[in-house]
Amino acid sequence: PSPLTRDRTLSLQIIPYGNNQRLLIVRDVSEIKRLETARRDFVSNASHELRTPLTVLRGYLDMLEPEAQGKNPLSEWRAPLMEMKNQTVRMESLVNDMLKLARLEAHAHGQTLQDLLDVPSLLRRVIDEVKAMSQGNHTFEARIQPDLCLLGGETEVLSIFTNLVSNAVRYTAPGGVIRVSWERDGEQARFAVADTGIGIAAKDLPRLTERFYRADVGRSRASGGTGLGLSIVKHALESHQAQLQIDSELGVGSTFSCYFPGERVRVLTEAAPVMQK
Ligand code: ADP
């Protein structure tokens, strides 16, 4: 292997040609190979994720078999029914996230994502929802530039905000602080979520946006994570030509920053009615 062919998959084809000659066709199929592996991994991970809640459901449903019923009076059913509901909710979130991801990937990048979005009010909505989820366990601070809007897709931008803010809550112990900001940064606009949570080890950072990659599997599952949130964020950002930056320190906290390019940033004048609340 030369530096040119190292880590590459080549396909070679020899075709008889003219008088005793051979034509050698060399094709670089590394990208096709990489996509094939990614697809196979996704199907295998997704099946595995769905199998766990299905096994639990199946176990409880077996208890409903006529011969088992006598041994389990109705009063003993409350806990199993709750657990069956939890597992169903988990499968539902997983399937919803998988559909979101598939839709984002199918989208022609950025073409239709040109609506003028009132980001400050979208953000207030997201913060209110996540605050409810945190049940008063966290302190929220928001620094939002009120006239800063974005050309983009509402569904995609909401996915970015919701996933990052709810991750901050899920990976921060009660009593922690979640800081959300939306501000101009030079020509760009920066959306950031900083938490005082568990943090992420340096070795995990590069792989965090891979589908189903988790730094802490047990904690992610227990907190209702599907393992797809950051992949969704990554794809939604790509469809806005935006960049993700993650800064984190174990035990101290994490900051997720999203940079939207200047072409998508709009600062409204006072006369523009869209910002009136
Ligand atoms: P999950 O559903 O598991 O949260 P994500 O794709 O949203 O999936 O995140 C991937 C992994 O990144 C998580 O399992 C967790 O280990 C880590 N992570 C994400 N956000 C944070 C955060 N704010 N603080 C610490 N770890 C985080």
Kindly give the confidence (pLDDT) of every residue in the chain, 277 residues in length, as a single tens digit, with 9 standing for 90 and above.
566 677 788 999 999 988 889 999 999 998 898 888 888 888 888 898 899 899 989 988 888 776 766 676 777 778 888 889 999 999 999 999 999 998 888 776 556 788 999 999 999 999 999 999 999 999 999 999 999 999 999 999 999 999 999 999 999 999 999 999 999 999 999 999 999 999 999 999 999 999 999 998 888 888 888 999 999 999 999 999 999 999 999 999 999 999 999 999 999 876 555 544 4
Residue 69's pLDDT is 63
* Residue to substitute in 100, 214, 258 for testing ligand 1 pocket (most ligand atoms within 8 angstroms of CB): 214
**Which segments of 193-243 does DSSP mark as H helices, in order?**
217-222, 229-238
* Residue to substitute in 169, 208, 245 for testing ligand 1 pocket (most ligand atoms within 8 angstroms of CB): 208
Nearest CA to ligand 1 atom 11: 214
Nearest CA to ligand 1 atom 3: 227
Sheet with 265-267, edge to edge strand ranges:
115-117, 148-152, 265-267
Tell how far the Cα of 206 is from the centroid of ligand 1, in angstroms. 12
Tell how far the Cα of 215 is from the centroid of ligand 1, in angstroms. 7
Nearest CA to ligand 1 atom 23: 168
Ligand 1 atom, smallest distance to 209 CA:
6
Ligand 1 atom, smallest distance to 226 CA:
2
Nearest CA to ligand 1 atom 10: 214
Sheet with 243-249, edge to edge strand ranges:
139-144, 177-185, 188-195, 253-260, 243-249
Q: What is the pLDDT of residues 21-46, one digit of tens each?
A: 999 999 999 889 888 888 888 888 88
Ligand 1 atom, smallest distance to 214 CA:
14
Tell how far the Cα of 260 is from the centroid of ligand 1, in angstroms. 22
* Residue to substitute in 133, 167, 244, 248 for testing ligand 1 pocket (most ligand atoms within 8 angstroms of CB): 167
Interatomic CA distance for residues 92 and 272, integer angstroms: 40
Tell how far the Cα of 187 is from the centroid of ligand 1, in angstroms. 29
Which residues face 139 on adjacent strands? 177
Residue 105's pLDDT is 80
Tell how far the Cα of 220 is from the centroid of ligand 1, in angstroms. 7
| Pocket, ligand 1, Cβ cutoff 6 A | 163, 167-168, 171, 195, 197-200, 208, 213-216, 220, 225-230, 254
Interatomic CA distance for residues 229 and 175, integer angstroms: 24
Q: In residues, how long is the chain?
A: 277
Interatomic CA distance for residues 87 and 123, integer angstroms: 30
Q: In sequence order, what DSSP letters do the residues of 140-205 get, joined into one string?
A: EEEEE-TTEEEEE-HHHHHHHHHHHHHHHHHTS-TT-EEEEEEEEETTEEEEEEEE-SS---TTTG
Residue 202's pLDDT is 95
Residue 96's pLDDT is 93
Q: pTM for this structure?
A: 0.84
Give the DSSP letter of residue 246.
E
Tell how far the Cα of 65 is from the centroid of ligand 1, in angstroms. 39
Which residues face 36 on adjacent strands? none
Interatomic CA distance for residues 83 and 192, integer angstroms: 35
What amino acid occupies position 2? S
Do the Cβ atoms of 165 and 178 come closer than 8 Å?
yes
